[in-house]
Structure 1
Amino acid sequence: MSCLTAEDVREVVKLQKEDGRCHLIKLLKWEVFDEEKDLRPGILLDYLYNTIIFAAEKGFPWPSVALAVHFSEELLYETKGKTMQDAVGKLRDKCEQYQNKLNPNYLQHLVNHFLRTFFRHYRLYQFVLCEVRELDQTIQNLEVHVPQEVPPLKDGIDVELWKYQQHIAVLNEAEAQLRANMTVFRETWQLKSEQELEKFYEDLKIQDKEVIERTILEKIVKDAHDIQVTVTSEILQKEVETAFQILDLKLQKRIVPLPVSRSFLSSATKETKAGKISIKKK
């Protein structure tokens, strides 16, 4: 059973409903629970919270409000599994126990409160207290995309001009990606060339003072040259392909028509009309 004091119930009443319920959980020393998954503690919490609010609104002194909570909690658990007739008998017994603790007027208000709430929904409370619920829930995690912050209207541009800028930005990004890929390709093949030449020289196994025949020397030079030529050829071919792709992107940027702003058209139209008016006046 709870041991709420006059100061405890006073703190609960001073708070808004949700904050008051959360504070009451701490005062009752309950574990935090999920009301969507487990209805029982949430219903019992509302039962006690509503008793506190009712007693406070009826003008009970704070010690009497705390007694009202004790009364309601004892009544709830002592009637668990009882019939309606037995529960009414328990209410009568509780009134006798508290007749010297609570003012008769306050006690009468409290009895009327339980008759209108607890006993009106007695079977529901018994179902919550006595029946074991089988939890069958499907939880879906939905990703929420928060909209971007809207920029000031003064920074707005014509929609056609915005589309044009977006298209140019895509072409520029594609060009930058081609250049970056070319740099990676060049560095990769240069590293491959260095590794192959290093392995080639290690496999020769020629002594420092050894005299090399002309034909052997020519073959060594040719093989080393072939390694470098192969790498250079691959790099050059890739650079030519990339250059043509970049030129194609530049051409696309040139042929994309630059939209004329509507504000410019409206101002030009006004200037034209003003010019016609001035001509007529002359």
Structure 2
Amino acid sequence: MNVPIIRNRCKQQNEDGKKQRFKKQRGQRKLSKHLNLTADDGELDMRQAIHLDFLYDNLMFAAEKGFPWNHVCLVVKFAENVLTNSLGKELVAVLKYIQSESTEIGCELGERNFKVYIDFLFSTFLQHIKLFQFVFTRERERMSPNVQLEIIPPKSSEPLKEAKEVKIWDYQQNYEGLQRKETEKQNERLLKKQYIAETADKRLEESMKKIESKKEEKFTKETITDILKEVIGTYTANTLDNMKWNIEDTKEDLEIKLQKTSLPRPQALGIVMFLFD
């Protein structure tokens, strides 16, 4: 099995299919224009699409079979009349109508062409007449999309005299970002100090409870030593926490200030000196 050849054939068939669909759509648009029909989207109006398909297929059949163009026009007109006068009627009534109208068109087309066309009409329209009846006699809700969209028009542009250079705008955006970061750190610091104070109070409270529990005991050297260890331990823990947080705060402040000074400041804004606390 030659796989590349098969792939090329499939690709060619797909391309041919696309060309045929495009050709049919273009032909249907021209036909709808001449017949004063609306060439709507078939997915939105199935009845209109089937109507146009039916007439176009009859036209193309007659043209491809070599009918003269005046006979092709007769075929389209006959197909339109058959479709219109068949709606809501039984099959027997439809056959009688076709028989009554066949005399005139039969004489125009000639015996051979008339037989060929009638065979086509029977194998397409009459074979699926119930489907045509269903589509054209039962109202169907139009499937048009109904979506609410909020449209926000763009803001009007600022006057050119108030415009900024890109470098200046970028610098100010970066600088303001660092300012916001610094403010956030300060707010976090306040919450941190509150947490440290609450933790210190809890430690002190626990230490006092331990000391109170030893009141009834006889104060010995060991008891006094334990009390001192408890007090010193609580004080040391609180002091270490404060030192740790202060070091971290100082480090964060320095990092933000260094980031500010490292921003490439445009010459148009002049020179600013940053003072470190």
**TM range, normalised to the smaller chain?**
0.3 to 0.5
Q: Structure 1 length as normaliser, TM-score?
A: 0.46
